[in-house]
Amino acid sequence: MCARTEHTGVLGCPRSCLHAILSLLQRGCERRSGPVLTQEAPHLAELCYQVIYQLCACSDTSGPTMRYLRTSQDFLYSHLQHLPFILPDAKIAALSQMSWLMKTAAIELRVTSLNRQRSHTQRLLNLLLDDQPHTQHAADGETGMEEETRSVSGFLHFDTVSKVRRKLLSILDAIDFSQKVPELLQLDFFERAQIEQVISNCEHVDKHGHTVCNVKLLHRVLVAEVNALQGRAAIGQRPLLMEEVNSILQQVVERNQVRHSLSAKRHALQSWRELVETLFTACPFDLIPTDERQLIIRDLLLDLHDKVLSEDAAVELMPVVAGAVFTLTANLSHSILSEQQQGAGLEGGASSGFASIANSALHLILRKLLDFILCTGGGFQRLRAHLYGSLLYYLQIAQKPEEPDTLQTDGKSMWERLTAPEDGFSKLQRENLAIIESYGTALMEVVCRDACDGHEIGRMLALAVLNRIISIDRQRQWLLFVCNSGYLRVLVESLRQDDAALQALLTPQPPPLKPLYVYESKMALLMRVAMTGPGAVELLRCGLVAQLVECQVFDMLPESDSHRVFGQRDPSGFIPAPIDLYRQILLPALRLLQVILTSTQHQQGAAQVLHWLIAHSDTIQSILRCQELSMGALQELSMITGIISKTALPGVLKMEPDVNSSTLMEFQGHIGRFQRQCLSLLGRLAGSERVRILKLAEEGAAPGEPADRREEMELAAQQICANVMEYCQTLLLQSSAKAQFSICLFSPSVTEPAAREGPRADLPVPAVPASRVPSLGLVLFLLKNAAADFFRFHQSHQQSLSKLQGLDHLPPEELKELCQALVYGSGGVDKIPSVQRSVLAKRRLVQLINNRAKLLALCSYIVETCLFVLWRHLEYYLLYCTPSDPKDSLLPSTNPFGVLQSSGGRSLGLSQVSRQDLDQLQGDVAASFGDTLQRKLLEVEVIYSQARSRYTFIQVLVRRIRGLLCRPRS
């Protein structure tokens, strides 16, 4: 292999030829003037650099060529140190030389980083990023020990006397962003439009890939046109015609030169961008310390913006600059967030700001970024997509990291909280918003216009920018503009237009998923608008729910695939299965409706959302009857039950205009079916049935996912139970404020769940059919499980808190286990540095703590609502219910309240209650609701409710239920 490489070389180029090329280029590199060939024969030097790059870029020859360049005359280092090449008489050739050399250097950085050749990578970084003067250059192929061991940490010193321009910035200075364009043709004989068409017809792509006009062909065409003229006037004006032809040809030559120049500048700028991106993304992170990395990126961003924002900057260079700005801003955001996670960020409060880069520098970057967005005008939407991405990364810097929910207040008084110093995140966010608002409606107009129309990627990013700015705009200026200018109505009405494209996604051979991504971004923005009361009202006024009612995509529920119930990935590749695509469409709509109900809390919004439920009742009932409780199905049930519980407001049906008696009865029938199906969910999600679901989820998940998937499913299951119990509580309160006039949702029986409390408690509770009235024992069973779950979650919550407080003392095995939930793959955690491993472990612990806090809140709420429902039913059955006489068993009951009723007042067929049933109910509940359970319930209120400064009625309800059970029956 070595002999073959020596004689045949690579790509048919013998090693001797490659050596000859290097020898040509290397002459003069020992002097400060740089390579001689670049000056004496610039086009030949350009060709040599191009050949070297192509050899390095080819996968078959990259390794041998890079090793030969590295060992032979130290090629890259000796040539890079003379950049930029300044050739006044051959500017285009000089730019091309630098382009191929920078591309080769990017490959070298990538290869040495992958091969962990730190010394080679570090030398190149020193050369490119150093801002200190060199006393002397090392001889050809030689480097002193001092230079070899000098690290990047010695680059940035604030000594203005010895500081020099970084090589990366010097190379950027050599690219002239301005470009003189020839003036328009002043024609006396030819038509301008026809001449431009002829010039366009003569254009072709030359050997360098540039689109230029063939001057010789154009000359023949124009001369033939002159020769075709007839008459004396033509003969007399022939000299003038030929003079005008020459002026046309001269301008075409100038145009070709301009295109060559712009192409060379764009190529050089693209090569510079590739070198910078490789430097910040591929090189080892620790070679450039975090603080110095931020300062370097700051300098690069400010210089790029200054050049592209100059008045004479060529618009053809803007797309490349926008891409470079995006990459640099993303790296700046990642660097600052990494610094914050490692504890060196904003801990010092309002005065310290960021540890490495001042807020003033960040503000300057933001202003220049916004100026760049505005200077693009009405066009360049694809270019602005990069700038919107950069703005999102920048705004991410001021996002406060997620904090653990410890369930405890900080113990400070209200005055101390109001007078506390502003933290660094809030300060930077407030200052960012002030800068954004200073641009007024001009910036709002550009962003809103891009969000409503244009290229898909640009629309998605513009929608995300609007979402982010509205989220931090406390004065709601952007929200008012979006509403008052009509852009919000345009977005709402576009949902109906998206319906056909979304329906096409659910076909067996779906088209590209761009409509889905735009739809998700749009729904996220509308959800952000709906989080405020005025925004939710404005969405209702714009007819948002009416548009969703007309969307037929919600009725295209695919058949569930039993093979993918618990989330196995689709083996076909990237495109999800139809059921997953459907959920990606349905869940955002459900979240939006739920946010609207939460923000408005009045009958108008509830009436419109209820109309959406009824319009798509077949789909809603199919989901409520779902037999395969996968993660996606639980998310759907969680959203739908939450919406149903919030639409159960008194007088909602009366809010519908033009509702006659038959329509009202139809609506009541739909509501009754929703009610029965929601109640049937309790039997499926109570106790061991939920344990079985979570066990299947853990067994069916991929490696690295069980913990996350189990937590999500556990949270969704508890949320469904909380929603259903909230629905029951609302129905009871809605029917009557007094128990003797209240409806009854549960039958007076405790037998079914109680049978599972013995040695066979591991068996699942049988699901109650929707046509059958569930018993009070189900409520009592859910109450016990919620109390037991509360203490289990509380213990886990406290353990995670103690681990977070002693994170530095956790054993390596436990750190690895915590990181495993966030890093997929078996060997992923082992490759993570120890510092980053601690950061991931902290993030995982915060995630666990907050998940447990949510579960504790749900369990406490379930306990309280179960006690209320149990108390109202016991109060009716034990105090006001008139038992039926066995003699009158064949007669219809005269008691209108001894039946289960829907919110519409229809009976669901509860059998008549005898005195024996009531006595059995009192005895069974008294046996189940003993002192042990009562102490647990009171302890729940002590542990959670008082710590959260929230008034609850657990103690009052326990006392009332105990009084009812001790009361002798008359």
pLDDT tens for residues 263-287? 999 999 999 999 999 999 988 888 8
pLDDT tier for residue 24 given thresholds of 50, 70 and 90 = confident
Given a cut of 70, whether residue 957 has pLDDT beyond it is: yes
> For 617, left (φ over 0), alpha (ψ -120 to 50), or beta?
alpha
Mean pLDDT across 697-709: 57
CA distances from 505 to 166, 459, 509, 573, 760 (A): 51, 19, 8, 16, 47
pLDDT tier for residue 150 given thresholds of 50, 70 and 90 = very low
Residue whose token pair is 């060939």: 37
Mean pLDDT across 226-233: 68
Angle formed by the axes of helices 954-966 and 931-940, nearest 10°: 160
pLDDT of residue 901: 39
pLDDT of residue 841: 87
CA 696 to chain centre: 29
Mean pLDDT across 626-635: 84
Q: Residue 213 in 3-state DSSP?
A: strand
The Cα–Cα gap between 662 and 906 comes to 14
pLDDT of residue 691: 72
Structure-token pair, residue 509: 């051979």
Say if residues 552 and 503 touch (Cβ distance below 8 Å): yes
Say if residues 589 and 516 touch (Cβ distance below 8 Å): no
Given a cut of 70, whether residue 304 has pLDDT beyond it is: yes
pLDDT in tens, 940-949: 988 886 666 5
pLDDT of residue 169: 92
Neighbour tally for 457: CB within 10 Å = 17
Q: Degrees (nearest 5) of the Cα angle 51, 57, 61?
A: 85
pLDDT of residue 381: 82
Say if residues 282 and 113 touch (Cβ distance below 8 Å): yes
pLDDT of residue 201: 83
Structure-token pair, residue 548: 């969703």
pLDDT tier for residue 899 given thresholds of 50, 70 and 90 = very low
Task: Out of 188-192, 237-241, 410-414, 861-865, pick the least confident.
Answer: 410-414
Radius of gyration in angstroms for the set of CA atoms belonging to the chain, rounded to a whole number: 37
Structure-token pair, residue 145: 């020990």
Mean pLDDT across 445-473: 93
pLDDT in tens, 361-410: 999 999 999 999 999 876 788 899 999 999 999 999 988 888 888 887 65
pLDDT in tens, 156-175: 433 444 467 889 999 999 99
Given a cut of 50, whether residue 547 has pLDDT beyond it is: yes
pLDDT of residue 884: 73
Q: Which residue has the higher pLDDT, 436 or 235?
A: 436
pLDDT of residue 30: 58
Q: What is the mean pLDDT of the chain?
A: 80
pLDDT of residue 517: 94
pLDDT of residue 91: 87
Q: Going along 195-328, which residue ranges are E strands?
A: 203-205, 211-213
Mean pLDDT across 538-543: 93
Mean pLDDT across 317-332: 94
Angle formed by the axes of helices 91-114 and 238-281, nearest 10°: 20
Mean pLDDT across 420-439: 88
pLDDT tier for residue 850 given thresholds of 50, 70 and 90 = very high
Q: Which residue has the higher pLDDT, 337 or 329?
A: 329
pLDDT of residue 138: 39
pLDDT in tens, 583-598: 999 999 999 999 999 9
Task: Out of 231-235, 630-634, 639-643, 902-906, pick the least confident.
Answer: 902-906
The Cα–Cα gap between 277 and 392 comes to 19
Task: Out of 18-22, 59-63, 756-760, 905-909, pick the least confident.
Answer: 905-909
pLDDT tier for residue 53 given thresholds of 50, 70 and 90 = confident
pLDDT in tens, 101-138: 999 999 989 988 888 888 888 989 988 988 765 544 33
Mean pLDDT across 753-774: 51
% of the chain at pLDDT higher than 90: 35
Structure-token pair, residue 168: 């990366």
Task: Out of 30-34, 492-496, 619-623, pick the least confident.
Answer: 30-34
Length of the chain (residues): 970
Say if residues 517 and 501 touch (Cβ distance below 8 Å): no
Task: Out of 39-43, 633-637, 672-676, pick the least confident.
Answer: 39-43
pLDDT in tens, 633-663: 899 999 999 999 988 876 666 555 555 677 7
Given a cut of 80, whether residue 22 has pLDDT beyond it is: no
Say if residues 855 and 792 touch (Cβ distance below 8 Å): no
pLDDT tier for residue 903 given thresholds of 50, 70 and 90 = very low
The Cα–Cα gap between 71 and 56 comes to 14
CA 327 to chain centre: 17
pLDDT of residue 600: 81
